[in-house]
Structure 1
Amino acid sequence: MPGMWWVVGTTLVVALVAAYLIWTAGRVERLQGRAELAARALDAHLLRRAAAAAVLAERRYGVELYAAARIALDAHPDEREAAENDLTRQLRAVQLDPADPDCEAVIAASRRLALARQVHTDLVRDARAARRRPLVRLLRMGRRHPWPRYFDIDDPTLTLPADVPAG
């Protein structure tokens, strides 16, 4: 009977290690999936802001803002960060009136974009931290997914003139 306790103890240890590995692999997968979903949501918000800026430029502010919006809409993935930063600079250069529905659409899209960017950054940071753990790297738990990438753009929040209340 003394050998029986070794079997039970060994089985219990193996079961606990297996449970931990399954939990860790699931966590890595969940974080990776959430980071990928956040990247898609960020992309959608980038497109909405660029489209709203293009409409605003067509109706009010002209060629430079329209060109920046079109470049942001049409940019290839490796050029996207620079195009979005240029659009943010162009939007900050114009005087936006929150009473104008087109301006309000751009301001609202920029706010939502700022939130989506923050969520994406947080999830990418968490996914990278999980994938950097030694056991995760050793067992290559994240190998099915590309390494999560930050989308490094300036803060897209637009500031309003001091005499105009934010709606």
Structure 2
Amino acid sequence: MKTISCVVVLVLAFTSFVPAQDGEARVIVLVKDQLGSTISDADIVLSRTGGRDKKIKSNSQGTGQFLKLAAGEYRLEVSAEGFQGETQNLILASGETRRVEVILDIAPIESTVDIGDDAADAERTGKTTVITEDQIANLPDDQEALEQAIRRLGEVITGEDLPVTVNGVQG
């Protein structure tokens, strides 16, 4: 019985000293998407006012760890390609291990359309050709000759024999 009492006293003594020796905090970050899948290779930045930023990437399980942190206020920023970034403020206590799950939303798809005066590009997109007023004035008056001239114009521009549509009527 004395042996068991001594062991219990020693275990309690050592466990009470461990937090005092290990006053450093830790942050373990798990990065997921909206469906719960982990995101690997996410950029994780932990910053503290007046301190250097600590930067890591999430591993194949979507996890990243910051060790040996002083107690205090931190800013956690997580980002990944194709996702909107997420920022959280953390307050760490001495010896604390904080587990943080960050869920990133899918970034919206953006596209840019440039509109300008460059008539050549705007008029020749795809398989469409717009004939200018001057070109129309030089076209033949005969219906069959007109159709042949328009088809030739299409072949010269696209290299293909394309159907001709005038004011919505295919000819």
Report which of the two structures shows the higher radius of gyration computed on alpha carbons: 2
Bigger fraction of residues in strand: 2
Greater relative contact order structure (CA < 8 Å, 6+ sep) = 1
Q: TM-score interval w.r.t. the shorter chain?
A: under 0.3
Q: TM-score, normalised by structure 2?
A: 0.24
